[in-house]
């Protein structure tokens, strides 16, 4: 998923009251204040309520269109996938009972477990092939489109009701990571209408309003066991303060994406519990190398050297994170662990700016309130880069349209990406020509190393090739990872069955295992 709002800087005196008032208005507008007066958290009864940032009137229950975390939460409720990510981004089995490749890494045989859709029809190999073919269509917009487009669907085939073989266009011993990718949910063959969706997930559809609440009901016949709650409701609260206030006032049981200052408050008060995952989100500044001025690698390097990462973590993240090194996936399998840290060098950055003839150049950076860290980070970066001769100006975009707009607009933008397999991230976000490569980076050498890694059977050799590719991208790609922020979700004291798990992993926001009381 793209965004994971991170820790917030501490408000100035007097600002907290304004935020609280704004949060109250947001809750009233979304209907959160209705029906919550029985004195129990989240409205009482056996309905679990969770507050998330939502995406506006263009939202859909089509699971293959899943740019934001709330889309993934709704998809987890309604649908299922062949696999799920463990905390370390290895793949565990879900609808797939087993998988294995041939010696070449081009043919993968998958065996499905016995499972049913909500209408009682079995989940079959034909459903899987239909779903993957649909998600591989660039016009659909699945986050995993780049991974699934590697499948030769003409050669791939069902072999009975519960077995199929995927034939790949090229060897790929990392292919099973696609089974757990966002936007790979399995649909009944022929599904095109999502107004009353049918899936094989732990909950069935009740109601949904784009940009508004979504309600789901317990499905007793789920293959992995029935949920422990009767109903799940996902409610909109786009302002971080609104989510916090809803949790504190007992209107919801779960508040997603809490800022660092809010996490500190919950720890101090002790009335609610906190699920915190360290180093969960890569905080990025995307420099579009395919456009001026960042088609000049000297200016990319100047920005890398000109920012003070420790100050950004201390101020923009309120200390709730750690310094980044311009590579995604710190601590995950495949991340190079022998990098020399990127240190600030004002003199060298200033020299590069002058050599590029860019002294005094104004650069507009796209930002938004989607993530509480971005605007204070932009303000601090502007002061830091002024010292090297660059003038950074912020352009604040609406949170509901931010991610769609920055795909095509601007030359620099803030972004976040949560935990994903490193190899998948490189294939989807850094490879030349990839649909989600927002810096427009292109390097034949990088792409060749990535291809060599994917067709290498030995794990140790494969990871060594990935490390070589990442060292190239670190300096050239324009993807500047300035920090890794903590992920904080708040829960009511009566909630059981949830644990702190990395975003995008199987156990994150797994509400079918929730118990109340």
Name residue 481's beta-bridge partners.
Answer: 284
Residue-range domains of the chain with CATH: 80-179 (3.90.76.10), 279-486 (3.10.105.10)
Over residues 275-327, the pLDDT tens digits come to: 999 999 999 999 999 999 999 999 999 999 999 999 999 999 989 999 999 99
In the sheet that 163-167 helps form, which strands lie side by side, from edge to edge?
96-101, 107-112, 163-167, 157-158
pLDDT at 44 (0 to 100):
45
Is residue 9's pLDDT more than 60?
Answer: no
8 Å CB contact between 183 and 471? no
Compute the C-alpha angle 329/334/335, nearest 5°: 45
pLDDT at 221 (0 to 100):
97
Q: What gap in Å lies between CA 146 and CA 73, rounded to an integer?
A: 22
pLDDT tier for residue 337 given thresholds of 50, 70 and 90: confident
8 Å CB contact between 317 and 7? yes
Over residues 451-501, the pLDDT tens digits come to: 999 999 998 999 999 999 999 999 999 999 999 999 999 999 999 999 999
CA 82 to chain centre: 19
Looking up tokens 């960042």, which residue turns up? 294
For residue 461, give the 3-state DSSP assignment: helix
The arithmetic mean of pLDDT across residues 389-412, rounded, is: 94
Lowest mean pLDDT, pick from 79-83, 331-335, 497-501: 331-335
* Residue with more model confidence, 333 or 256: 256
Is residue 222's pLDDT more than 50?
Answer: yes
pLDDT tier for residue 333 given thresholds of 50, 70 and 90: confident
8 Å CB contact between 473 and 479? yes
8 Å CB contact between 54 and 212? yes
Is residue 272's pLDDT more than 70?
Answer: yes
The radius of gyration of the chain from alpha carbons, rounded to an integer in Å, stands at: 23
Q: What gap in Å lies between CA 325 and CA 338, rounded to an integer?
A: 11
Give the count of alpha carbons within 13 A of 307, CB side only.
Answer: 28
The one-character DSSP state at 42 is G
pLDDT at 370 (0 to 100):
83
Q: How many CB atoms lie within 10 A of CB 517?
A: 8
Residues 24-61, buried b or exposed e (16+ Cβ, 10 A)?
bebbeebebeeebeeeebbbeeebbbbbbbbbbeebbb
Nearest Cα to Cα of residue 186 among 131, 125, 255:
131
Is residue 128's pLDDT more than 60?
Answer: yes
pLDDT at 371 (0 to 100):
86
* Residue with more model confidence, 195 or 27: 195
Residues recorded for the chain: 517
Q: For strands 390-397 and 361-368, give the pairing.
A: parallel
pLDDT at 3 (0 to 100):
41
Q: What gap in Å lies between CA 517 and CA 514, rounded to an integer?
A: 10
Is residue 186's pLDDT more than 60?
Answer: yes
Mean pLDDT of all residues belonging to the chain: 90
**What is the biggest distance separating any 2 CA atoms in the chain, rounded to whole angstroms?**
68
pLDDT at 13 (0 to 100):
27
* Residue with more model confidence, 332 or 137: 137
Q: How many CB atoms lie within 10 A of CB 88?
A: 12
Over residues 22-45, the pLDDT tens digits come to: 333 344 444 454 434 343 445 445
* Residue with more model confidence, 59 or 1: 59
């Amino acid at each position: 998923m793209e965004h994971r709002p991170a820790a917030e800087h501490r408000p100035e005196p007097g600002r907290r009251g304004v935020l609280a008032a704004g949060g109250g208005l947001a809750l009233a507008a979304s209907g959160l204040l209705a029906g919550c007066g029985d004195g129990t958290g989240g409205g009482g009864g056996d309905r679990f309520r969770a507050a998330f940032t939502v995406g506006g009137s263009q939202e859909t229950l089509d699971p293959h269109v899943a740019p934001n975390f709330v889309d993934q939460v709704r998809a987890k409720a309604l649908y299922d996938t062949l696999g799920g990510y463990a905390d370390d981004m290895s793949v565990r089995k879900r609808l797939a009972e087993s998988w294995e490749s041939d010696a070449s890494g081009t043919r993968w045989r998958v065996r499905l477990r016995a499972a049913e859709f909500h209408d009682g029809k079995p989940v079959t190999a034909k459903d899987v092939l239909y779903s993957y073919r649909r998600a591989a269509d660039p016009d659909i917009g699945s986050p995993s489109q780049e991974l699934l487009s590697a499948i030769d669907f003409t050669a791939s085939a069902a072999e009975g009701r519960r077995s199929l073989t995927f034939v790949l266009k090229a060897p790929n011993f990392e292919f099973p990571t696609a089974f757990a990718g966002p936007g790979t949910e399995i649909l009944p063959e022929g599904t095109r209408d999502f107004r009353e969706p049918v899936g094989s997930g732990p909950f069935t559809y009740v109601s949904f309003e784009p940009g508004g609440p979504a309600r789901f009901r317990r499905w007793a016949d789920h293959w992995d066991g029935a949920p422990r709650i009767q109903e799940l409701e996902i409610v909109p609260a786009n302002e971080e303060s609104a989510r916090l206030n809803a949790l504190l006032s007992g209107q919801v049981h779960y508040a997603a994406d809490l800022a660092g200052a809010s996490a500190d408050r919950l720890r101090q008060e002790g009335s609610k519990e906190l699920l915190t995952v360290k180093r969960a989100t890569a905080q990025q500044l995307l420099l579009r190398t395919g456009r001026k001025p960042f088609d000049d690698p000297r200016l990319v390097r100047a920005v890398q050297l000109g920012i003070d990462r420790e100050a950004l973590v201390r101020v923009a993240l309120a200390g709730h994170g750690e310094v980044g090194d311009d590579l995604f996936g710190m601590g995950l399998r495949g991340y190079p662990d022998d990098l020399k840290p990127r240190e600030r060098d004002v003199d060298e950055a200033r020299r590069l700016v002058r050599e590029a003839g860019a002294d005094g150049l104004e650069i507009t950076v796209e930002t938004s309130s989607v993530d509480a860290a971005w605007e204070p980070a932009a303000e601090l970066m502007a002061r830091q880069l002024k010292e090297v001769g660059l003038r950074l100006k912020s352009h604040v975009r609406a949170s509901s349209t931010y991610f769609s707009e920055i795909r095509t607009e601007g030359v620099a933008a803030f972004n976040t990406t949560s935990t994903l397999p490193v190899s998948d991230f490189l294939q989807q976000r850094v490879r030349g020509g990839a649909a989600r490569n927002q810096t427009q980076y292109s390097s034949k050498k990088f792409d060749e190393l990535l291809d060599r890694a994917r067709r290498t059977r030995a794990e140790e050799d494969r990871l060594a090739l990935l490390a070589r590719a990442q060292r190239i991208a670190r300096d050239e790609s324009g993807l500047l990872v300035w920090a890794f922020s903590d992920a904080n979700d708040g829960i009511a004291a009566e909630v059981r069955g949830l644990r702190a798990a990395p975003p995008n992993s199987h156990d994150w926001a797994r509400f079918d295992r929730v118990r109340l009381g």
